[in-house]
Amino acid sequence: MLNNTITTQVNSTTNITVLVDEQKARVEKTVLILVLSVEMVLGILGNALVLIVKIGCRGQFRCVYWLPFVSLTLSDFCCAVLIITGSLLAVLTGGQRSPWCEVVSLFKFTFITSSIGSLAILSVQRFVGIASTGRRFSIVMVMACLAFWLMGTTFGMVPVIYNWVRYDPAEMMCAVFWESSYSDMLVYILCTFSISIFPPLLLILSCSFLTSVGYRKNCTSQADLSSVTPLLVGSYLLCYSPFAVSELILLGRLDLSPSPDWLRTLSSVMAYLDCILNPIIYCTNHDFRQAVLALLWAKRKSCLPDPVLTSIKKIDI
């Protein structure tokens, strides 16, 4: 009799624990769906609007370094369309299947590298004071931006080729998982960081510091769009810090166990946040904000019907 009572109490406690865990999981899933939905909508609409303004309304605001700005915005827009949307669908459906799984993993590295590369080019241009004008220098800037895009694609293809990509529920996307060789993981991460992350990061930090203390040529003024560069750099470093910490934790674990689930989830959410913060940062520039408002107002006016003369009233004097 006593054993039956103890067994019943244990089963009741277990059932209560299972129900609590299930309810907690549903709440977390609902919150993630809401957050990802907001980030997806704002990321797509915000960066699409910024691209239209940067390319179509360049004459309404001063921007002498427009090539890296366009590259950065294009990276944010593609990230919102492909990566954030893919993560939202993965949360809703419970995973990602091949070949979409490999595509997401490949482009994740591409957009991370292209973003930091665009910021590095922008920081160097702003420090040196050379504008993105002139056919020859414009070609050089285009090649530099394309080089970072190609570098990110190359490093993103390596895990796909070696079949290291698996769906990670914590990251809400397909990510690289290391199951057998610590040396492979060490070599890949060190090569990725030492070639595509550390050099542009060093350029960003050094050029930003020298520019802030006054060691730069007077090529721009506060009215130029490049005045938002420090905010863009700060936003990128803040939003990608969880991702860097997660990778460093992985390097320190010889058993190849990943970083905590909450940290991997935070790294994805914060990386997506950077995509929606950049359009807001652009609008802190007065002239760019006026160009956005002028574009929106022009579209609103085009939707209104033209006035039609219906009658004439003569006024006797």
pLDDT digits (tens, 9 = 90+) for 55-91: 877 677 777 788 899 999 999 999 999 999 999 999 9
pLDDT higher than 60, residue 310: no
Predicted local distance difference test score (pLDDT) of residue 56: 75
51 in Cβ contact with 73 (< 8 Å): yes
Work out the pLDDT band at 210, boundaries 50, 70, 90: confident
Element of type H or E holding 305: none
> pTM to 2 decimals?
0.82
Element of type H or E holding 8: helix 2-56
Predicted local distance difference test score (pLDDT) of residue 267: 93
Predicted local distance difference test score (pLDDT) of residue 248: 85
Predicted local distance difference test score (pLDDT) of residue 12: 58
Element of type H or E holding 38: helix 2-56
Predicted local distance difference test score (pLDDT) of residue 303: 45
44 in Cβ contact with 77 (< 8 Å): yes
- Choose from 77-81, 219-223, 251-255 the range with maximum mean pLDDT: 77-81
Predicted local distance difference test score (pLDDT) of residue 232: 93
- Rounded-to-integer distance, Cα 274 and Cα 46, Å: 12
- Choose from 29-33, 64-68, 174-178, 299-303 the range with maximum mean pLDDT: 29-33
Predicted local distance difference test score (pLDDT) of residue 309: 46
Work out the pLDDT band at 302, boundaries 50, 70, 90: very low
Give 270: exposed, middle or buried? Use CB within 10 Å, 0-12, 13-18, 19+: middle
Predicted local distance difference test score (pLDDT) of residue 265: 92
265 in Cβ contact with 171 (< 8 Å): yes
Over residues 258-285, mean pLDDT? 91
Q: Which among 278, 224, 235 has a CA at the least distance from the CA of 49?
A: 278
> Any idea how long the chain is?
317
Predicted local distance difference test score (pLDDT) of residue 18: 63
Give the residue, 104 or 216, on which the prediction is more confident: 104
Q: How far apart, in Å, are the Cα atoms of 113 and each of 57, 217, 283?
A: 27, 28, 24
- Rounded-to-integer distance, Cα 110 and Cα 82, Å: 12
Give just the sign of the alpha carbon dihedral 14, 15, 16, 21: positive
Over residues 207-231, mean pLDDT? 75
157 in Cβ contact with 188 (< 8 Å): no
Tell me which fold the domain 23-297 belongs to. Answer: Rhopdopsin 7-helix transmembrane proteins (1.20.1070)
Residue at 262: amino acid letter: W
Mean pLDDT, the chain, whole residue set? 82
287 in Cβ contact with 225 (< 8 Å): yes
Name the phi and psi angles at 291, rounded to 5: -65, -40
Give the residue, 257 or 130, on which the prediction is more confident: 257
